[in-house]
């Protein structure tokens, strides 16, 4: 019997994923979830045939050039691959896969949570109750922004964006969207297409970001674009922190141009932006859009399916 391929799992994954990986591969697992430097990644590459990373491991050009030739595939535990320099990896002949489809529902749930929490002042309300400050009531107390019947703008009408649109219809929201191309009417389900981002922003009482982070979308929501949104609107980001100019968002929140924001991702991760922690109109989560047991199992198994296919001499389902 041939030796099992050596696999480096860079983060502690779901128990079911780890059990299956250990059964089929010679595994090295970072059970302590310590952060890895570029040097760590390069050093480990000499010992494995495949790497099973999350979005926290950066495969920039310098890292890719220095990877040991032994590494043949990077099977990402994520949909987004902005942490991977795809042209450099292709040049090295290293296959790259991701895990689409399986996390759309969970991520859309978090987007809805952030939208509702930001709109109804969840951070401020939680603080008042927890600190014993809830000692009065009046009709003017804790008045927020109503979600039901409002206009929702979605940038990126892919898998997650489409689920978000369906969930929003449960709140009788009028859904508008921008996408690189217009969807067919069956997938639109009544959503209104805008051919430009700027056109979408002008009608978005709420704006939810669901597009990938690419050189073209970096800093997509800058001061100029935030200024196009209706006064008192709300921004939700469950995609990637690179999409938002964080200082511009802070300025818009401070001036009242935006009434609130709901954020699950940041330019610096882990850690986030300390300036947001001072603002009670920012409802934040630590990048947990896909953090349900069923979804994390599905992501892990999808990545392992890709690895299994690759080492069986087949084309992985999610080869990029």
The catalytic residues are 240, 269, 287
Sheet-wide strand order for 233-237: 192-194, 174-178, 151-155, 206-209, 233-237, 258-263, 282-284
Nearest-angstrom CA–CA distance, 187 and 191:
9
3-state secondary structure of 159: helix
* Rounded CA Rg of the chain: 21
Check whether the bond before 270 is cis (ω within 30° of 0). Answer: yes
Structure tokens at 310: 């690759």
Could you tell me if 75 and 51 are in contact, meaning their C-beta atoms sit under 8 angstroms apart? Answer: yes
Q: At what angle do helices 122-130 and 104-119 cross, to 10 degrees?
A: 70
């Amino acid at each position: 019997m041939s030796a099992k391929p050596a696999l480096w799992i860079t983060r502690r994954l779901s128990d079911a994923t780890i059990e299956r990986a250990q059964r089929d591969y010679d595994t090295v697992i970072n059970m302590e979830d310590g952060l890895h430097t570029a040097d760590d990644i390069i050093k480990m590459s000499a010992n494995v045939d495949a790497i099973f990373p999350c979005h926290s491991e950066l495969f920039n050009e310098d890292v890719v050039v220095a990877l040991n030739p032994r590494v043949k595939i990077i099977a990402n535990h994520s949909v987004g691959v902005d942490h991977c320099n795809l042209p450099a990896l292709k040049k090295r002949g290293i296959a790259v896969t991701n895990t689409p489809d399986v996390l759309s529902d969970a991520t859309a749930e978090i987007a809805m949570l952030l939208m509702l929490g930001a709109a109804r002042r969840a951070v401020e309300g939680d603080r008042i109750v927890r600190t014993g400050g809830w000692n009065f009531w009046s009709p003017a107390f804790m008045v927020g922004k109503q979600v039901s019947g409002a206009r929702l703008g979605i940038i990126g009408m892919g898998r997650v964006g489409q689920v978000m649109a369906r969930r929003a219809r449960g709140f009788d929201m009028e859904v508008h969207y921008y996408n690189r191309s217009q969807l067919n009417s069956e997938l639109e389900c009544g959503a209104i297409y805008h051919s430009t981002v700027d056109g979408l922003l002008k009608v978005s009482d709420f704006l939810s970001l669901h597009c990938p982070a690419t050189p073209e979308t970096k800093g997509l929501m800058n001061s100029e674009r935030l200024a196009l949104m209706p006064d008192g609107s709300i921004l939700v980001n469950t995609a990637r922190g690179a999409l938002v100019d964080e200082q511009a968002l802070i300025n818009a929140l401070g001036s009242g141009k935006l009434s609130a924001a709901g954020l699950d991702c940041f330019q610096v991760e882990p850690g986030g932006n300390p300036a947001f922690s001072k603002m009670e109109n920012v409802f934040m989560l630590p990048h947990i859009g896909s953090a349900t047991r069923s979804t994390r199992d599905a992501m892990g198994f999808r990545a392992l399916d890709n690895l299994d296919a690759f080492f069986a001499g087949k084309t992985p389902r999610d080869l990029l």
